[in-house]
Structure 1
Amino acid sequence: MAQAVRFSIDYIRGEVRHRLEAGKVLRSQPVSALGAFYAPAEWQAMCEELELLDVRLCDPLAELLGREEWAND
């Protein structure tokens, strides 16, 4: 029996940060770019969570990160 997959927004944000740091995605890419990294069932679960938070797939990934702290150069 298949178990329902559920992702929290904190998990999704962590995944975005990880993929940004690894150079797999760009901050300007749409949220939909994340779909390439997940199985269809996982991606669907993420989309459902994002929809609950009014995040659109066309929004830039940077929108998911919220406020970020930058060290002074």
Structure 2
Amino acid sequence: MAVTSDYSIDELKNEVRHLVDRGVIDRHQSICVLCEFIPPREWVCVECELERNDYTFKDHICDLLCKDEWQED
């Protein structure tokens, strides 16, 4: 995950969507799995941004991707 030191929740959601679409992570895993893709020195910034937006590490990845678009059959 290529993330800069200046984080926004939208950028984070885009990166998470990319990881889910590639099958690297599963939407039912907890958000804490993201720490595997973010350098430890940058994780603090991600953690702060998640907390500012009322997410916890126990929340699921799908909580970040709540605006899924469903195709009609």
Matched with 2:32 is 32
User: How much identity, in percent, do the aligned residues show?
Assistant: 36
What amino acid does structure 1 have at the position aligned with 2:32?
Answer: S
How far apart are the structure 1 equivalents of 2:12 and 2:65?
9
Q: Quote the Cα distance in structure 2 between the aligned partners of 1:66 and 1:38.
A: 22
- TM-score w.r.t. the length of structure 1 is 0.87
Comparing 62-71 with 25-34, greater Cα deviation is found at 62-71
What letter matches 2:15 in structure 1?
E
Give 1 or 2 for the bigger CA radius of gyration: 1
Q: Which runs of 4+ in 1 moved over 6 A?
A: none
Query: Structure 2 regions of 5+ residues with no counterpart?
Result: none
Contact 1:5 1:41 in 2 (8 A): no
Per-residue deviation, 1:67: 2.0
Distance 1:67 1:22 in 2: 18
- Aligned pairs, how many? 70
Instruction: Using structure 2 for the length normalisation, give the TM-score.
Output: 0.87
Task: Note if 1:72 corresponds to 2:53.
Answer: no
Which residue matches 2:48? 48
